[in-house]
A and B are shown apart, each in its own frame.
Chain A
Amino acid sequence: MNRPRTFYGKGIPGVATGDLKGKLIVLEGPDGSGRSTQIAFLTEWLERRGHAVEHVGLKRSTLVAEELAEAKQGNVLSPRTLSLFYATDFADQLEHRIIPALRAGFIVLADRYIYTLMARDMVRGADLPWLQSVYSIALVPDLVLYLRVAPQKLMERYIYRARELDYWESGMDIGYSWSWYDSFIRYQSELHRTFSKLQAIYGFATINGMRVPRAITRDLQTRIEAVISPNG
Chain B
Amino acid sequence: MPEKGLPNTTPGKLIAVEGLDGSGKSTQVYLLKRWLELSGYKVFFTEWNSSGIVRSATRRGKKQNLLTPTTFSLIHCTDFADRYERNILPMLKAGFIVLADRYKFTALARDTVRGCPQEWVGQLYSFAFQPDITFYFSLPLRTALNRILVGRPALKYHEAGMDLGLSPDPVESFKIFQGRIHKEYEALARRHRFTRIDSDRPVEVIQEEVRAILRDRIDLAKYKVAVPRGWRV
Chain A positions within 8 Å of B, measured between CB atoms, are 9-10, 12-14, 62-64, 66-67, 70-71, 76-78, 80-81, 84-85, 87-88, 91-92, 95-96, 130, 133-134, 136-137
Contact = CB atoms under 8 A, between A and B. Distances in A.
B115 A14 contact: yes
Contact of A10 (B57, B67, B75, B120): B120
A63 B82 contact: no
Interface in B45-88: 53-54, 56-57, 60-61, 64, 66-71, 74-75, 77-78, 81-82, 85-86
B71 A92 contact: yes
Contact of A81 (B56, B82, B119): B82
Secondary structure type dominating chain B contacts = helix
Residue among A66, A70, A77, A96 with most chain B CB within 10 A = A77
Residue among A14, A85, A88 with most chain B CB within 10 A = A88
Given A64-B57, A78-B86, A80-B85, A85 B78 contact: yes
Contacts of A133: 119-120, 123-124, 126
B117 interface: yes
Interface residues of B, number: 31
13 contacts: A13-B69, A13-B114, A63-B57, A71-B53, A81-B78, A84-B77, A88-B71, A88-B78, A92-B68, A95-B68, A130-B123, A130-B127, A133-B120
Nearest to A136: B120
Given A67-B53, A133-B123, 4 more contacts: A13-B70, A14-B69, A63-B75, A64-B57
